[in-house]
């Protein structure tokens, strides 16, 4: 697995893939989808697909692929090597969603939530397989959100393909287990060798699992909190763990789409009370002191002190 | 998102971001460093910030661009206020005018006697700015001393020229003056070929009035032969009950024109920017507005 393309710029989303086995172009294939790194506050979320001809399902079983969570890191690395070696009939593709991509998606003006991001990434990978000529006939997915809805959504998007969405699919279907191993291995490698874009000097890489409840992760987050900028791009700003720390420990930053309490917000914005529009006297008096619209439109005003 | 954070009151900062005319700074003269001063604002009579440059021979006004949710990154520092100061040349006559007016039309006085103000001691520095006071006042020379007396007539003629010049500038800079365009984005909906001369005059009058007392602004409005705008009170919508007239009811518009063929050929309306952003919102899991109004389905 060559992580080079991602490491060139780890602030964006990146796709990595194996060679497409020629067998997959000719025979009906099954395809598994799984993700790694959904929960951590640190590092990327990786989506993986794995596909092989339906006729080769047994071979996959024989390789003893299993739910990546039940395996040690060494076992996973080992299994990934095996999968990669079986390139005559197994193909894989990954989408690495950088923590920065996750932050900016979830925190943008029109919110793009993690479920939507996950669905779209999974769909993108299936489409990639189809565009590459893989004869996909069956899809197996671990669910994100309600399984029925997700299944319906995918079935509609990919007519002619049987879609099976199940919770814990990674322990039920070997092809999903394989996808989960690819995703997990990629995530581990990326997190381990993370290139910090920021000038932080020698970075303490002892950040634990990256999950919000890990004390090591929390300690690391406290250590690398900048009062102005918050965190390096390695951290998902949209996670409440990161947000709470920033709120308490760093300088307050106000955006114009902050949701503020009605009364307070109005006060800060110097809004007029609705009632004031009904008393005509004060309105007329104000128009005399208001600046000409050339200036008010351009937010220009006189000042009396610097 | 973070909510309900307390905003610190904007503390005075020790640096500012300024756009100034080149002439404000004269690198050849070390004694001519520009200097901020507080002077009487001719419109509000309160203190406003101005600047003297080139050894007091040039007057500038200071305007601040201030909008919520802005900050500066300056070098390796952050500045809390996103304020941008503009330092632009100002005709000193606008600041002299209130003092001349105040002295009245009784007697001729030398300028240095007029420009005494204990609230704004710096106003005497206006004397070193070259300006033609005879635009505002009658002049008498006795010996080597010049004496002045305020003249409303001269002042209004001078202001009218200012308005005319402003109109030229407004047209040249393509500034929207029509009543219809008050959009904050300054994007004109249609080209303003139908913009009337009166709109320009009124807009220019409004701009010049930023530098005049209210009385003078009204006098100038009359001088320009512009009718006073009807106050909002008078333009209030009529009360709901209308008196019935005896006249037969007739359609005020010719509605048949909408039946013609070219009405059909109209291209579909483009969405406004606001509608576009609304359309982009992640609506998954949201009910439609209309669903709240439809009768409940009995189960």
> Would the CB atoms of A110 and B207 count as touching at under 8 Å?
no
Interface test with B, best of A104, A242, A302 (most B CBs within 10 A): A302
Interface test with A, best of B10, B11, B68 (most A CBs within 10 A): B68
Q: pTM here?
A: 0.72
Residues in chain B closer than 8 A to A247 (CB atoms): 2, 5
C-beta of residue A15 within 8 angstroms of C-beta of residue A40: no
> Would the CB atoms of B210 and A292 count as touching at under 8 Å?
yes
Mean pLDDT over residues A150-175, rounded?
91
Q: CB A75: neighbour CB atoms within 10 A? A: 14
Burial of A250 (0-12, 13-18, 19+ CB in 10 A): middle
Write the pLDDT tens digit of every residue in A127-137: 999 999 999 99
Write the pLDDT tens digit of every residue in A137-161: 999 998 877 889 999 999 999 998 9
Q: Which of residues 219-278 of A touch B (CB under 8 A)?
A: 228, 243, 246-247, 252-261, 264, 268-269
Mean pLDDT over residues A94-98, rounded?
95
Provide the CB-side half-sphere exposure for A277 (13 A, CA). Answer: 5
Residues in chain B closer than 8 A to A280 (CB atoms): 232-233
Write the pLDDT tens digit of every residue in B206-220: 999 999 999 899 889
Q: Which of A33, A84, A28, A79 is nearest to A56 (CA)?
A: A28
Residues in chain A closer than 8 A to B182 (CB atoms): 293, 297
**Model pLDDT, residue A44:** 94
Q: Which residue has the tokens 């005559």?
A: A88
How long is chain B? 299
Q: Which residue has the tokens 């139908």?
A: B194
Largest Cα span, chain A: 86
> Would the CB atoms of A252 and B63 count as touching at under 8 Å?
no
Q: Which of B72, B142, B71, B131 is nearest to B99 (CA)?
A: B131
Who wins on pLDDT, B183 or A169?
A169
The radius of gyration of chain A from alpha carbons, rounded to an integer in Å, stands at: 26
Write the pLDDT tens digit of every residue in A61-81: 888 777 777 788 888 998 999
> Would the CB atoms of A303 and B12 count as touching at under 8 Å?
no
Give the list of residues 6+ apart from residue A79 with CB closer than 8 angstroms, or none.
Answer: A63, A64, A65, A71, A181
C-beta of residue B124 within 8 angstroms of C-beta of residue B59: no
Look up residue A235 and give its DSSP letter: B
**Model pLDDT, residue B273:** 73
Residues in chain A closer than 8 A to B61 (CB atoms): 302
Q: What residues does B219 pair with on adjacent strands?
A: none
| ipTM summary value | 0.76
> Would the CB atoms of A110 and B66 count as touching at under 8 Å?
no
Helix, coil or strand: residue B69:
coil
Q: Which of residues 257-286 of B touch A (CB under 8 A)?
A: 277, 280-282, 284
Write the pLDDT tens digit of every residue in B29-41: 666 678 899 999 9
Q: How far apart are CA B16 and CA B84, in angstroms?
A: 7
Burial of A65 (0-12, 13-18, 19+ CB in 10 A): buried
Given a cut of 50, whether residue A244 has pLDDT beyond it is yes
Q: Which two tokens stand for residue B110?
A: 């030398």
Write the pLDDT tens digit of every residue in A253-282: 888 887 655 555 555 555 555 555 555 444
Interface test with B, best of A153, A259, A303 (most B CBs within 10 A): A303
| A285 lies within 8 A of chain B by CB | no
Which span out of B19-23, B68-72, B249-253, B255-259 was modeled with the highest average pLDDT?
B68-72
Residues in chain A closer than 8 A to B203 (CB atoms): 294
> Would the CB atoms of A299 and B61 count as touching at under 8 Å?
no
Q: What residues does A43 pair with on adjacent strands?
A: none
Write the pLDDT tens digit of every residue in B141-168: 888 888 999 999 999 999 999 999 999 9
Q: How far apart are CA B287 and CA B293, in angstroms?
A: 11
C-beta of residue B155 within 8 angstroms of C-beta of residue B196: no
Interface test with B, best of A119, A152, A304, A305 (most B CBs within 10 A): A304
**Model pLDDT, residue B90:** 93
Q: Which of A204, A234, A232 is nearest to A219 (CA)?
A: A204
One-character DSSP codes across A165-232: EETTHHHH-HHHHHHHHHHHHHHHHHHHT---SS--SS-----TT--TT-HHHHHHHHHT-BTTTBS-
Given a cut of 80, whether residue B266 has pLDDT beyond it is no
Spell out where chain A has E strands: 14-17, 29-36, 45-53, 91-97, 136-142, 162-166, 300-302
């Amino acid at each position: 697995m060559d992580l080079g393309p991602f490491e060139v710029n780890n602030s964006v989303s990146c796709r990595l893939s194996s060679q497409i086995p020629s067998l997959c172009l000719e025979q009906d294939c099954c395809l598994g989808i799984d993700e790694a790194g959904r929960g951590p506050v640190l590092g990327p979320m990786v989506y993986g697909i794995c596909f092989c001809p339906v006729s080769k399902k047994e071979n996959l079983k024989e390789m003893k692929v299993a739910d990546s969570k039940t395996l040690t890191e060494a076992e996973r690395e080992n299994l990934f090597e095996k999968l990669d070696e079986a390139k005559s009939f197994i193909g894989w593709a990954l989408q690495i969603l950088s923590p920065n991509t996750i932050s900016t998606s979830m925190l943008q003006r029109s919110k793009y939530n993690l479920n939507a991001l996950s669905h779209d990434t999974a769909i993108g990978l299936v489409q990639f397989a189809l565009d590459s000529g893989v004869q996909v006939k069956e899809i197996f997915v671990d669910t994100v959100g309600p399984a029925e809805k997700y299944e319906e959504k995918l079935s509609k998007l990919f007519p002619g393909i049987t879609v099976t969405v199940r919770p814990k699919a990674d322990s039920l279907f070997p092809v999903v287990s394989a996808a989960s191993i690819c995703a997990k291995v990629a995530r581990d490698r990326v997190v381990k060798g993370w290139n910090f874009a920021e000038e932080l000097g020698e970075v303490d890489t002892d950040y634990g699992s990256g999950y919000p409840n890990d004390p090591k992760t929390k300690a690391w987050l406290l250590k690398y909190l900048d009062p102005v900028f918050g965190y390096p791009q390695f951290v998902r700003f949209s996670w409440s763990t990161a947000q709470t720390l920033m709120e308490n420990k760093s300088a307050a930053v106000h955006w114009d789409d902050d949701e503020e309490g009605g009364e307070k917000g109005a006060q800060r914005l110097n809004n007029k009370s609705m009632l004031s529009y009904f008393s005509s006297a004060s309105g007329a008096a104000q128009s005399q002191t208001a600046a000409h619209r050339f200036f008010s439109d351009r937010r220009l005003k006189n000042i009396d002190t610097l | 998102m973070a909510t309900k954070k307390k905003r610190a009151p904007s503390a005075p900062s020790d640096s500012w971001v300024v756009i100034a005319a080149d002439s404000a700074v004269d690198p050849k003269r070390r004694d001519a460093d520009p200097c901020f001063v507080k002077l009487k604002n001719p419109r509000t009579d309160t203190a406003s910030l101005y600047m003297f440059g080139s050894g007091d021979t040039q007057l500038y006004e200071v305007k601040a661009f201030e909008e919520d949710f802005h900050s500066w990154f300056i070098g390796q520092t952050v500045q809390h206020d996103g304020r941008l100061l503009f330092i632009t040349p100002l005709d000193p006559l606008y600041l002299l005018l209130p003092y001349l007016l105040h002295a009245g039309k009784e007697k001729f006085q030398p300028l240095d006697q007029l420009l005494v103000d204990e609230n704004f001691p710096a106003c005497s520095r206006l004397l070193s700015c070259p300006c033609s006071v005879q635009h505002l006042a009658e002049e008498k020379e006795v010996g080597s001393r010049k004496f002045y007396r305020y003249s409303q007539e001269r002042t209004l003629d001078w202001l009218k020229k200012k308005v005319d010049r402003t109109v030229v500038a407004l047209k040249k800079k393509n500034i929207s003056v029509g009543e219809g365009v008050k959009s904050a984005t300054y994007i004109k909906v249609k080209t303003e070929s139908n913009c009337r001369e009166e709109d320009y005059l009124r807009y220019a009058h409004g701009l010049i009035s930023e530098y005049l007392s209210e009385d003078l602004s009204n006098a100038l409005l009359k001088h320009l032969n512009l009718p006073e705008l009807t106050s909002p009170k008078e333009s209030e919508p009529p009360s709901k009950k209308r008196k019935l007239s005896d006249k037969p009811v007739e359609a005020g518009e010719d509605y048949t024109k909408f039946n013609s063929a070219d009405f059909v050929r109209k291209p579909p309306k483009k969405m406004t920017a606001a509608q576009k952003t609304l359309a982009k919102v992640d609506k998954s899991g949201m009910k439609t507005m209309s669903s709240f109004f439809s009768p409940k389905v009995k189960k």
